[in-house]
């Protein structure tokens, strides 16, 4: 329950609820991709998961380069490795269905990464950890939504396989938050 107490301290308890169904509404008409069908839910999951992975890889690099707290640097390196592996699975499934994936993080993600890049010292560490916690809560919610509403088994399997990795990252970010906050 340590995760919940840190989320509460950050004012993020509402982030644990699934993203509004309207934001990820399943299109009743599946999108035709080649000879296979892919629901809008499945396609959106693949696109957003890819953007999330790109964001975490960039954020991981920032942490390795700029982090002062050792836990931030260590977690950053872990995010790079794990999100590269997660993204390889997302990309493979998207390629199989002919889903074009975004080439960069979303505009909002890019703005948040730019904000992090401008920070330094303890301010960077704490902002980066807050960002890591928020993005992993959001990624977990996206995965849960896919597991519940996705239609294609192999796309749903990508979400299922990512959940324990994302939970581990969230737990590590919370633990790092606690240690780095104490060392300041």
Domain membership flag for residue 172: yes
pTM above 0.75, yes or no: yes
Q: Provide the domain count of the chain.
A: 1
CATH number of the domain bearing residue 125: 1.20.1260.10
Domain membership flag for residue 41: yes
Q: Residue 10 — pLDDT band, cuts 50, 70, 90?
A: low
Q: In the block, which residue shows the tokens 């401008």?
A: 118
Domain membership flag for residue 1: no
> Maximum distance among all alpha carbons in the chain?
57
| Mean pLDDT across 162-173 | 98
Q: Answer yes or no: is pLDDT of 21 > 70.
A: no
Average pLDDT, the chain: 87
Domain membership flag for residue 24: no
Q: Residue 137 is part of which domain span?
A: 36-98+106-183
For 146-156, write each residue's pLDDT tens digit.
999 999 999 99
| CB atoms near residue 138 (< 10 Å) | 16
Domain membership flag for residue 26: no
β-bridge partners, 36: 33
């Amino acid at each position: 329950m340590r995760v919940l107490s840190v989320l509460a301290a950050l004012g993020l308890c509402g982030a644990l609820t699934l993203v509004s169904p309207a934001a990820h509404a399943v299109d009743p008409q599946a999108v035709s991709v080649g000879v296979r069908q892919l629901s809008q839910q499945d396609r959106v999951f693949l696109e957003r998961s890819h953007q999330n992975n790109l964001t975490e890889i960039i954020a991981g690099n920032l942490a390795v380069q700029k982090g002062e707290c050792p836990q931030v640097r260590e977690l950053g390196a872990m995010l790079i490795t794990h999100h590269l592996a997660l993204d390889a699975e997302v990309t493979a499934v998207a390629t199989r269905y002919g889903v074009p994936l975004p080439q960069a993080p979303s505009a909002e993600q890019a703005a948040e990464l730019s904000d992090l890049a401008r920070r330094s010292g303890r301010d960077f560490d704490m902002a980066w950890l807050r960002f890591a916690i928020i993005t992993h809560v959001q990624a977990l919610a996206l995965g849960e939504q896919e597991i519940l509403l996705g239609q294609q088994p192999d796309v749903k399997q990508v979400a299922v396989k990512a959940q324990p990795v994302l939970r581990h990252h969230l737990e590590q970010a919370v633990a790092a938050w606690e240690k780095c906050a104490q060392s300041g």
